[in-house]
């Protein structure tokens, strides 16, 4: 495999993959926040 293929793969899969994973994470966190909403009284000091 030549460097050109490697470079382009890294750019596309690497950059895309990073964005995708963090995108998924942001969705999951948003979901978690919906499932376990913040309640002032239940939290105590935290």
C-alpha to C-alpha distance for 41 and 3, rounded to whole angstroms: 58
Count of residues of this chain found to bind other proteins when the rule CB under 8 A is applied: 33
Tell me the C-alpha to C-alpha distance, in Å, between residue 22 and each of 19, 28, 29, 31, 43: 5, 10, 10, 14, 28
C-alpha to C-alpha distance for 12 and 7, rounded to whole angstroms: 9
Q: Is residue 3 part of the contact set for other proteins (CB under 8 A)?
A: yes
Query: Contact letters (x/-) for other proteins, 9-38, by CB under 8 A?
Result: xxx-xxx-xxx-xxxxxxxxxx-xx--xxx
Q: Is residue 39 part of the contact set for other proteins (CB under 8 A)?
A: yes
| Site residues for other proteins per CB under 8 A | 1, 3, 6-11, 13-15, 17-19, 21-30, 32-33, 36-39, 42-43, 46
């Amino acid at each position: 495999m030549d460097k050109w293929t490697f470079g382009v793969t890294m750019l596309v899969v690497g950059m895309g993959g990073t964005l995708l994973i963090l995108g998924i994470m942001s969705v999951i966190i948003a979901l978690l926040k919906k499932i376990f909403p913040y309640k002032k009284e239940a939290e105590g000091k935290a």
